[in-house]
Amino acid sequence: MSDPPTHYPSLIAVAERFASGGAIAAVEAFGSGNINDTFLATVEGTSHLPFVLQRINTRVFRRPQLVMKNMSIFTRHVRDRLQHSPLSRRWEVPRVLLTTEERDHWVEADGSVWRAISFIDGSESFDAMHDVDHATEVGYALGTFHNLISDLSPAQLADTLEGFHITPLYLQHYDRVVAKTAVNLSPEVRYGLEFVRDRASWCAVLETAKTQGKLPLRLMHGDPKVNNVMFDRATGKAVSMIDLDTVKPGLVHYDIGDCLRSGCNPIGEETEQWETVYFEPDLCEGILRGYLSVAQDFLTDSDYDYLFDAIRLIAFELGLRFFTDYLAGNVYFKVKHPDHNLLRALVQFQLTQSIEFQETAIRALIQDLR
């Protein structure tokens, strides 16, 4: 909920649990995640690569052991697959680093749960998209990620975050929060309440299709924001997808929607200028082109039929999640100030509206790319 605490047990001591040889030189806050606390640990000497050290948010991931188990299973699967049939270009899978006792996580005396992941050598990530080529690379990365896990049965991985991306459940939770909260009816809150009310009857669209067997349960990334795609600094090409906590059974539509809502908002999800947020159609075309260049092999006709709804829904759903968290007193997403989640919600609602205004063009684009 707050900035990375400074009262942690010595970060260096925690990092040393995972450092096989080589003393830790420094541990610094890293990235801008909304859930876990993330640090980059550098190791003394030139022969050791830095690694990512994370304190898992156990209020969100209540069974961190299962998160780590999932991660080990699917990263091993993908690595084996790449060994047998390598891709024609560089693609990396982050490694789970073990403690000196060969465990995939470490529990501190204060109960905090830590894990370490390899950093992709020579790579960088970006919070916003530069241009259409960049967008195409982001789409390629998500397609490659889906492709590489498409032959692993969803039953192999545990559901580490029940209800994640099940929009009707977020709506039920929102209704409960609204019912028990003395809501301060500012113009922004009033707008949010109306915005949700007007879309409530549509928000089960993907879950209904899933129940009717129109959309199959597959494995998904769960959080394919643009800054979770790593780019090779030298070639400028996408080389990996990181932030693998939410890889679990779900719909690929959640990922496609999430990638587009994050990638096609040039002003970014953290802007305070929410009225100026819009959904950029050329970036949308770039992402979809890159994605489908890999994913057209496994998508069905029915999958295509729900792409527009997925794009609209995941932006709306994230707005609903931020709005609910604001009303509930900021208990889920980390915030920098009390209105942070309200502003984030307004950004996503504005984006949803921009997607709705462009429905005909987006549907036509999907049809052309089919």
Question: Which residue number has the CB closest to ligand NDG?
Answer: 34
| Nearest residue to 310 via CA among 240, 362, 346, 241 | 362
CA distance 173 to 160: 19
Distance of closest approach, residue 232 Cβ to ligand NDG, in angstroms = 24
Could you tell me which residues come within 8 angstroms of residue 364 by beta carbon, excluding any fewer than 6 positions away?
none
Per the document, the length of the chain is 370
User: Taking the complex as a whole, how short is the minimal distance between the CB of residue 90 and ligand NDG, in angstroms?
Assistant: 26
Instruction: Tell me the closest approach of the beta carbon of residue 28 to ligand NDG, in angstroms.
Output: 20
Taking the least distance from each CB to ligand NDG, the nearer of 199 and 221 is 221
Q: How far is the CB of 269 from ligand NDG (least distance, A)?
A: 6
Smallest distance, Å, CB 88 to ligand NDG? 31
User: Which of residues 137 and 269 has its CB atom nearest to ligand NDG in the complex?
Assistant: 269
| 86 burial via Cβ count (<10 Å: 0-12, 13-18, 19+) | exposed
CB closer to ligand NDG out of 318 and 362: 318
Helix (H) or strand (E) holding 326: helix 307-327
Comparison of 99 and 263: residue with beta carbon closer to ligand NDG: 263
Q: Is the Cβ of residue 43 or residue 355 nearer to ligand NDG in the bound state?
A: 355
Nearest residue (CB) to ligand NDG, 43 versus 284: 284
Cβ-contact 44, 24 below 8 angstroms? yes
Q: Which residues contact 231 (CB under 8 A, 6 or more apart)?
A: 123, 124, 125, 126, 137, 237, 238, 239
Query: Which own/partner pairs from 102-106 qualify as long-range (CB within 8 Å, at least 24 positions apart)?
Result: 104/68, 104/69, 104/71, 104/72, 105/56, 105/64, 105/65, 105/68, 106/14, 106/17, 106/18
Asked if 362 and 311 touch (Cβ cutoff 8 Å), the reply is yes
Number of H helices, E strands in the chain: 12, 11
Which residues contribute to the site for ligand NDG (CB under 6 A)? 34-35, 60, 223, 225, 246, 258, 269, 318
Q: Give the span between the Cα atoms of 329 and 338, in whole angstroms.
A: 8
Q: How far is the CB of 31 from ligand NDG (least distance, A)?
A: 11
Q: Which is nearer to ligand NDG, 139 or 224 (CB)?
A: 224
Q: How far is the CB of 281 from ligand NDG (least distance, A)?
A: 21
> Cβ 23 to ligand NDG, closest distance in Å?
32
Helix H or strand E encompassing 114: strand 113-118
Pick 97 or 259: Cβ nearer ligand NDG: 259
